Amino acid sequence: MGNFTYHVERVQSWLGLSRVHIAIHSVAVLSLCYYRIRHLLVEPPSLAWVLMTAAELILSALWLLNQAFRWRPVSRSVMTEKLPAEEELPGVDIFVCTLDPEKEPTEQVMDTVVSAIAMDYPADKLAVYLSDDGGCGVTLFGIREAAEFAKEWVPFCRKYGVKFRCPKVFFSPAGEDQHLLRDHGFRAQRDLIKAKYEQMQKNIDKFGSDPNNRRIVSDRPPRIEIILEEPGMPLVVYVSRERRPSLPHNFKGGALNTLLRVSGLISNGPYVLAVDCDMYCNDPTSAKQAMCFFLDPETSKYIAFVQFPQMFHNLSKKDIYDNQSRTAFKTMWQGMDGLRGPGLSGSGNYLSRKALLFGSPNQKDDYLQDSQKYFGKSVAYIESLKVIIGQKSTKKDISRDEMLREAQVVASCSYENNTNWGTEVGFSYGILLESSITGYLLHCRGWKSAYLYPRTPCFLGCAPTDIKEGMLQLVKWLSELLLLGVSKYSPFTYGFSRMSITHTFTYCFMTMSSFYAVVFILYGIVPQVCLLKGISVFPKVTDPWFAVFAFVYVSTQMQHLIEVVSGDGSVAMWWDEQRIWILKSVTSAFAIIDAIKKWLGLNKVKFNLSNKVVDKEKLKKYEQGRFDFQGAAVFMAPMVLLLIANIVSFFGGIWRVFNLKDFEEMFGQLFLVTYVMVLSYPIFEGLITMKSKSG
């Protein structure tokens, strides 16, 4: 356990036992690979054996890379009560990005904005920036309405110590416990504010009912507007950068870099919070929790960002699509936290402005000598950078109008031309996952990060309630990560020379995880076809080598089970995670295809925005724990073919065993198809429902 000034680091209690397991399992995996390769060299190789050897070599390599997450997992807790007084806390700028009101309902976006405005942080140190990358009229109207409502909401929250600062949650059944044991004055004011909140929603809905107000404007000048600037209230700014159809805009990364420049001119907080427009601030103390790392004398110099888990308010009890991403946000991120820090997720992260703009932690102050090459030609913006690195600024106070004009300049399409924005400065444009590559490059430059998984979720979003949206996200993430793996920034080359081996392994695994598709497709076809033909691809059950295969299977399952149960999960969750893991792994074949097309220049690079609109029928199915494959026929095609192969193989294999009495030779394959059949029953059910509805 490591005790710091403002936080505590705890190493996993069974770390020694975990490392012993890794060592023993490694010996078993090497033995299995030896068995496969020796067989190829000693006997005439068959196609089936070659394919199975390839699958197991890929699986072994992925397993080895995956163990880096388990080498030194840690958890952290913070001591916000030890932080300096509020007047001594640094400024924080909150970035909320939205694009399309059709997929990101404006009412939902404004709930996030209001929850950010109401954060438990000194108002004069807090600024909220909304990036409207669609230039939609309803978004500008919505933030004006939200700011007016916030004038009533924020004082109410402060007066009564409201825990849930998102008004939608506070006025829902989930927030009713905060209404109990309150006096008449509280209830009267609550009812008044509830009426104003409902009126705000009605106004936004009415304004947005006109299609012209919801239309994305892709050819527009920049627009910067200060929405709220009053004593005792955080600053609220609307930002719509310039967009021209003929000029690159670099998607969300470009929008975030615009916010970095605009906010640098206006509020220039040393730290920024990036949050998705559908992920409201659930715990208002998250900024203070992050400051326990940024301000800690023992860690402050090297911490580039503090990552919180992405969690969701609409998870069902079964969570059949694994929306909680337990493996990522508990096993992987906590494992990376014990090395040099977790990766940067797309939301719920506090970042150091200095880390984003100034190279390595040991960067010399002469970084600004060639400032226009790095940061552009805005003198006012370059002067603002001096404040971030502790230099004295020579700029004179400028009027608000002049500052807004300069903000429009740095929000123009041409501002980044002939600069290092998107390469060495700000969020990286290397791949469409601007957060993933930015976090990776920060680690390569020598920065560290921290991961905090508090009991009360700091940010809550809306999880996909059908398989289609989940698969679209998965294919986008995995294809972009694969492109990172073959780019000039590949962790296999660029990363190995700049990070420790174990930390590099974690990034190598993430970039190559789509290759599980190759493994499961081969494992889903070759043993099944061979079972029907009477060709054995596993050792006889009486062969000593069979014990090696059995040990690897049982050992892997036990490791997974222990991780789930120790993380407050259940046996049912362990079983469900296996199912969705196989389903997602098979579907990731589309990610490999998509990445190859992009790499060859056959696919136009485009950003697929996740749909945040909730479908009531799909939500009902999800809450009942039933798979919904409507609209996902293409993604399900590989899985359907594998399931058909397993069904035929299952019944054909049973017939073989009873008639030819070759149970010993075929036990491994018969066990495999039986396991897949039992595991896939809910998928069968969902596919039958989809077929009956389409018919």
Q: How many CB atoms are located within 10 Å of the residue 262 CB?
A: 27
Nearest 10 degrees: Cα torsion 121, 123, 125, 127: 100
Contact present, 380 and 334 (Cβ < 8 Å): no
Rounded to whole angstroms, the maximal C-alpha distance in the chain is 92
- Distance between CA 25 and CA 155 in Å, rounded? 58
Q: How many CB atoms are located within 10 Å of the residue 667 CB?
A: 18
100 is known to lie in a ligand binding site: no
Alpha helices (runs of H) in 215-329, residue ranges in sequence order: 251-266, 286-294, 326
386 is known to lie in a ligand binding site: no
- Distance between CA 678 and CA 579 in Å, rounded? 10
206 is known to lie in a ligand binding site: no
Residues paired with 243 in a beta bridge: 220
Quick one: which of 465, 475, 525, 477 has its CA closest to 635? 475
Q: List C-alpha distances in Å: 556 to 25, 551, 569.
A: 8, 8, 17
Quick one: which of 519, 515, 537 has its CA closest to 40? 537
Q: List C-alpha distances in Å: 161 to 98, 186, 285, 288.
A: 29, 11, 12, 16
User: Which is catalytic among the residues 111, 120, 132, 133?
Assistant: 133
468 is known to lie in a ligand binding site: no
Q: Is 451 helix (H, G, I), strand (E, B) or coil?
A: strand
Buried b (16+ CB within 10 A) or exposed e, 220-242: eebbbebbbeeeebbbbbbbbbb
598 is known to lie in a ligand binding site: no
Pairing mode of beta strands 303-307, 448-451: parallel
- Distance between CA 21 and CA 338 in Å, rounded? 18
Residue labelled with tokens 């998870």? 315
User: Which is catalytic among the residues 325, 378, 435, 588?
Assistant: 435
Residue 133 a catalytic site member: yes
Residue 397 a catalytic site member: no
Q: Which residues are annotated as a binding site for Mn(2+)?
A: 252, 276
Q: Which residues are annotated as a binding site for UDP-alpha-D-glucose?
A: 103-104, 133
- Catalytically active residues are 133, 435
Q: Which residues are annotated as a binding site?
A: 103-104, 133, 252, 276
